[in-house]
Amino acid sequence: MRVKMHVKVSTKSKRRGKRLKRRGNMSRIRANKLSVEYHFKRLYEHTNPVFTEDDRVKKLQICNVVHFRECFVCKNNNGRSIKAGDHLYECTGYRKITGEYGVSDNWNTLPVCLPCNYNYKKIPLVDGRVLDAGFNEIPNELVPPHKQHIVDTINKWKAYVAQRGAVLHFKFDDRQQSIYEEALKKYEDFVAYMEKI
């Protein structure tokens, strides 16, 4: 014979549970903003040539790795910390600096593990400046020796991409930019409305 036990949950605990659930839902809603940005960008982004098997082999050769689960920066090849690699030209991260968006395809990714992903493009120069190799052209004579292979790899890949007629970034025209900003504003208004409920 089973005995049912009733545990009385206080009203305070119930309210706390609802708050946590609501906070979790709002986090998911806010995270969808990134999805809105990516999908909207895809409507207008530049169409690159098809990324072929020869391009894949060339990328492995330029990055000096055996397969794409190996990080070209630290040569970590356990494969656990690399999913799709890193966007060389950030999809939305450089927009405020350059006014351009990164293309989201195989032309714009490099095999980089998660620990290296945070700072491998930030290159400290011998003159004291720090430049981002994702969108800056970095002169080789200013690169310290321990960062030279990273800059060389990035420059070789950019040159190969250009040679193949592909691009890593693009810019909206004025009409597209205003539509995009309006769509994001509507999304942010929706999030603000949901937070009041």
Torsion of CA 109, 82, 138, 142, to 10 degrees: -160
Q: Once rounded to an integer, what is the mean pLDDT over residues 188-196?
A: 77
Does residue 145 carry a pLDDT above 70? yes
Specify whether the CB–CB gap between 48 and 105 falls below 8 A: yes
pLDDT digits (tens, 9 = 90+) for 163-185: 999 999 988 888 888 877 887 78
- CA gap 134, 95 in Å, rounded: 12
More confident residue, 119 or 19: 119
Distance CA 76, CA 1 (A): 58
Residue 80 pLDDT exceeds 70? no
Residue 79 has pLDDT above 60, yes or no: no
On whether the CB atoms of residues 123 and 133 are closer than 8 A, the answer is: yes
CA dihedral 81, 84, 87, 93 (to 10 degrees): -80
Per-residue confidence band for 195, with pLDDT thresholds at 50, 70 and 90: confident
Structure tokens at 161: 């991409």
- pLDDT band at residue 158 under the 50/70/90 scheme: very high
For strands 109-110 and 130-132, give the pairing.
Answer: unpaired
What is the structure's pLDDT at 194?
74
**b/e sequence 60-92, b meaning 16+ C-beta within 10 Å:** bebbebeebbbbbbeebeeeeebeebbbbbbbe
User: Three-class SS of residue 124?
Assistant: strand
What is the Cα–Cα distance from 47 to 57, expressed in whole angstroms?
21
Each residue's pLDDT tens digit, 41-55: 666 666 789 999 999
